[in-house]
């Protein structure tokens, strides 16, 4: 693992030698090969979520987590098939430097305000997202080597920051390629070895000898896809529904199952162009031919990876039992260290660190360039081709890294699944609506886009802080509220002329 990390840092610095301007730092000059863009997008999109969060959720809830996987996979496929080429062409047409730069240029009548509000919204939520990656790294190193979690998070930061500051988007995307390969190998090999391990173990040494038996033995809440968790009469959701339908248990169960399934599937909405760190990969692709190559690689990678992540979680139930782990999100490293020789597990667990690092550095670069180019640049008037712009981006990246680390230490929740879910609502569900309407509805214009961003931000914060997210997912409702705001305001507010 140490050798891998050292090589990764040096490779990132090597790629960074070709970064000469702010444009190179922010979007690699919009010249990424398709295979690089696809693997980088997938490595960034999965993060500690797919190797810690999703397996952990599958371990905690059983078959119900299939709906989350379906929502994610479907969203990723739609993004690559319907949006990737369009966004690449739009980025070339409008000479886009950042995610918010595209929205601002498309809606020029309030472009300045879109830059300010949009960039600050992204930076606000991404602080927590980067913090989630640091937390994931801390969990992994703590689980493997019993390193204190706070010290482990600091180690992850030291691994991520040097080449990220030096090489920007180019270094990040090319190192992502290596990480995506390691991640997919881990997610293929781990389930296969897990099945063999379970079949070979003597009777009584594991909870169950196959996944099917493990889910059945764990109870109905694990073995059904209809949300057996609703059957828990102590749950917030059960209580809320029961107050509307007293003495109607079947109605409560049915509605509860539907709400849980919709909440799980709602990850779908965040992939529709609304995650800036992913959309920027689409925009950076070199040409149309490379966009098609990227689409094919991205779709295949996704299907294989999500299948493997779910299986690892369920294999964890079969090995340890549903209550065998103190922290559900350590199921991936626990399974790997159980079924493999230490040398092999050490190699494969670099897949977990790879996922964490690939997302952390991507988020840092995106946050830094959004802040640098859309807020600071407005006052400083630097050109993207200037060395001052490059220096500015590097300094901002370093400062944001420090703030994100502090937030990770003081985060009110160390559950990666929850933190990423909040970001998926505030950023993904909000900006997906803005991107979709910008691409496909000519009547949509700047003021509705600005109102949608503001409304999505405020609503997400309110919904989560009120505790109502435990009843209906903010990922789903933010998308609905953002859509209502965007469509209504477009009809009510006349478009201003652009000067």
For the stretch 106-160, pLDDT in tens is: 998 898 899 999 999 888 888 777 877 788 778 778 877 888 888 888 888 887 7
Q: Would you say residue 407 has pLDDT above 80? A: no
Under 8 Å between Cβ of 310 and 54: yes
Looking at residue 494, the DSSP 8-state letter turns out to be P
- In Å, what is the CA distance from 3 to each residue of 6, 8, 350? 5, 9, 10
pLDDT for the residue 223: 87
SS3 (DSSP) at 247? coil
Q: Would you say residue 461 has pLDDT above 60? A: yes
Task: Specify which of 128-137, 325-334, 431-440 reaches the highest per-range mean pLDDT.
Answer: 431-440
> Which has the minimum average pLDDT: 6-15, 72-81, 293-302?
6-15
Work out the number of other CB atoms within 10 angstroms of the CB of residue 185: 15
Q: Would you say residue 494 has pLDDT above 90? A: no
pLDDT (tens digit, 9 = 90+) per residue, 228-242? 544 455 555 556 555
CA dist 381 and 81 (Å) reads: 37
Which distant-in-sequence residues (6+ apart) come within 8 Å of 2 by Cβ?
Answer: none
The domain covering 2-109+120-413 belongs, at the CATH homologous superfamily level, to Sodium/glucose cotransporter (1.20.1730.10)
CA dist 137 and 121 (Å) reads: 25
Under 8 Å between Cβ of 94 and 308: no
CA dist 473 and 428 (Å) reads: 13
| Domain boundaries of the chain, sorted by first residue | 2-109+120-413
Q: Would you say residue 354 has pLDDT above 50? A: yes
- In Å, what is the CA distance from 489 to each residue of 307, 403, 433, 479? 41, 36, 13, 15
pLDDT (tens digit, 9 = 90+) per residue, 236-289? 555 655 566 666 666 656 666 777 788 788 889 989 999 998 999 999 999 999
The model's pTM is 0.84
Angle separating helix axes 446-465 and 430-440, nearest 10 degrees: 160
pLDDT for the residue 43: 86
pLDDT category, 73, cuts 50, 70, 90? very high
Q: Would you say residue 20 has pLDDT above 70? A: yes
pLDDT for the residue 237: 57
């Amino acid at each position: 693992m140490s050798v891998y990390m050292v090589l990764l840092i040096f490779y990132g610095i090597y790629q960074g030698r070709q970064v000469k301007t702010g444009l190179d730092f922010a979007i690699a000059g919009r010249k990424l090969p398709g295979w690089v863009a696809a693997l980088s997008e997938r490595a960034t999109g999965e993060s500690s979520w797919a190797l810690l969060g999703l397996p952990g959720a599958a371990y905690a809830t059983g078959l119900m987590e299939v709906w989350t996987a379906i929502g994610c996979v479907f969203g990723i496929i739609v993004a690559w098939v319907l949006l990737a080429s369009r966004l690449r062409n739009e980025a070339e047409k409008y000479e886009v430097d950042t995610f918010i730069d595209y929205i601002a240029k498309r809606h020029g009548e309030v472009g300045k305000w879109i830059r300010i509000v949009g960039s600050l919204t992204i930076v606000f939520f991404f602080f927590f997202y980067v913090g989630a990656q640091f937390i994931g790294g801390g969990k992994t190193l703590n689980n493997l080597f019993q390193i204190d979690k706070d010290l482990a998070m600091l180690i992850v930061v030291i691994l991520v920051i040097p080449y990220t500051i030096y090489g920007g988007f180019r270094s990040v995307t090319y190192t992502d390629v290596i990480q995506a390969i390691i991640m997919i190998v881990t997610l293929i090999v781990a389930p296969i070895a897990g099945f063999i391990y379970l079949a070979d173990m003597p009777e009584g040494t594991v909870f169950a000898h196959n996944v099917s038996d493990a889910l059945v033995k764990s109870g109905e809440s694990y073995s059904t896809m209809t949300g057996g968790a609703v059957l828990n009469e102590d749950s917030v959701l059960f209580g809320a529904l029961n107050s509307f339908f007293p003495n109607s248990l079947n109605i409560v169960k049915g509605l509860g199952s539907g709400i849980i399934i919709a909440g799980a599937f709602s990850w779908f909405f965040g992939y529709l162009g609304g995650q800036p760190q992913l959309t920027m990969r689409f925009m950076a692709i070199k040409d149309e031919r490379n966009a098609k190559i990227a689409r094919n690689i991205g779709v295949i990678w996704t299907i294989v990876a999500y299948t493997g992540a779910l299986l690892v979680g369920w294999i964890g139930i079969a090995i340890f039992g549903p209550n065998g782990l103190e922290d559900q999100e350590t199921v991936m490293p626990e399974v790997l260290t159980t079924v493999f020789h230490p040398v092999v597990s050490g190699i494969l667990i670099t897949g977990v660190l790879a996922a964490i690092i690939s997302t952390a550095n991507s988020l840092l670069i995106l946050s830094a360039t959004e802040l640098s180019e859309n807020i600071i640049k407005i006052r400083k008037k630097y050109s993207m081709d200037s060395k001052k712009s490059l220096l500015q981006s590097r300094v901002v990246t370093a400062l944001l890294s420090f703030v994100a680390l502090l937030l990770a230490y003081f985060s009110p929740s160390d559950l990666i699944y929850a933190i990423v879910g909040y970001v998926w609502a505030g950023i993904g569900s909000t900006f997906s609506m803005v991107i979709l309407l910008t691409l496909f509805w000519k009547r949509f214009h700047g003021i509705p886009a600005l109102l949608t961003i503001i409304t999505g931000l405020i609503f997400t914060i309110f919904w989560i802080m009120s505790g109502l997210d435990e009843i209906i997912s903010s990922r789903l409702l933010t998308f609905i509220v953002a859509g209502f705001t965007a469509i209504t305001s477009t009809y009510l507010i006349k478009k201003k002329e652009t000067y």
